[in-house]
Amino acid sequence: MKRILFILAISLCCAGVARAQYYGNNIRQIYSINWQPNIPVGDSRDFVSKMSFEGINANWAYFVTDNIAVGFDLSYNNYHEKVGQKIYRPDANTAVNAAQYRYTQAFPIKVQGKYFFNQFGTVMPYAGLGIGALSAGQHIVIQDIDVWDNNWGFLLSPEIGVLVPIGIAGDTGIWGANITAGYNWSTNKSDVGKIKADNRQSFYFNIGLYLALF
């Protein structure tokens, strides 16, 4: 029995080393491209409350140690919502009845640090923190009238995610699926059509593919 356990332990150990050599500290950089749905939170919900399914994300991470990678993260999100016919009173002697089409185009740009918890394993969970800027263009469209505001803010975004390898990319690396959940908080202040916001917040999800290069 002891012999069996010993062989099993040695085998597992070897397997671990093999994986380590294959995936682990050989990975130098990771590229990923993702679909990025967003759920607006807080003040952002006052402008467009609906979840955005139109989002794309590109990410690059470079390993500076076995577990820590730094890189860039770029996203584009389009939020939109129709607000049906409603009476607005800009002042006591004016009434306006109109349906509005509201949309926000957001561009979060950030430098990012990621910590990989299990870099020598097959599945690589990670936690990251991004710091950067967020540009948001917010529009209220009524017929051909477009009331808009463009604002920038300081962006902070923690995230957690996991890389799940699927296959070998020749001699150059491995590829697989990337799943991330994160939170964007930025200092964008806006006042469009009397809808005020002191900041922008959203939960985002990255669902996509990555390519890890040795």
Vertex 186: Cα angle to 54 and 192 (nearest 5): 75
Q: Which is nearer to another protein, 16 or 90 (CB)?
A: 90
194 Cβ contact partners less than 8 Å away, ≥ 6 residues apart: none
* H or E segment to which residue 1 belongs: none
- Draw the binding track, 3-32, toward another protein (x: CB under 8 A; -: no contact): ------------------------------
From 142, 160, 162, 195, residue interacting with another protein (rule: CB under 8 A): 142
- Which of these segments, 9-17, 66-74, 119-127, 140-148, binds another protein (CB under 8 A)? 140-148
From 2, 87, 171, 194, residue interacting with another protein (rule: CB under 8 A): 87
Would you state the torsion angle of the CA atoms of residues 14, 19, 22, 25, taken in this order, to the nearest 10 degrees? -100
Residue 79 · residue 38 · CB < 8 Å: yes
* H or E segment to which residue 188 belongs: none
- Which of these segments, 5-13, 83-91, 185-193, 197-205, binds another protein (CB under 8 A)? 83-91
Question: Which pair of tokens denotes residue 174?
Answer: 């491995």
Residues at the contact surface with another protein, assessed by CB under 8 A: 33, 35, 53-54, 56, 78, 80, 82, 84-85, 87, 90, 93-99, 101, 103, 105, 139, 141-145, 167, 169, 175, 208-209, 211
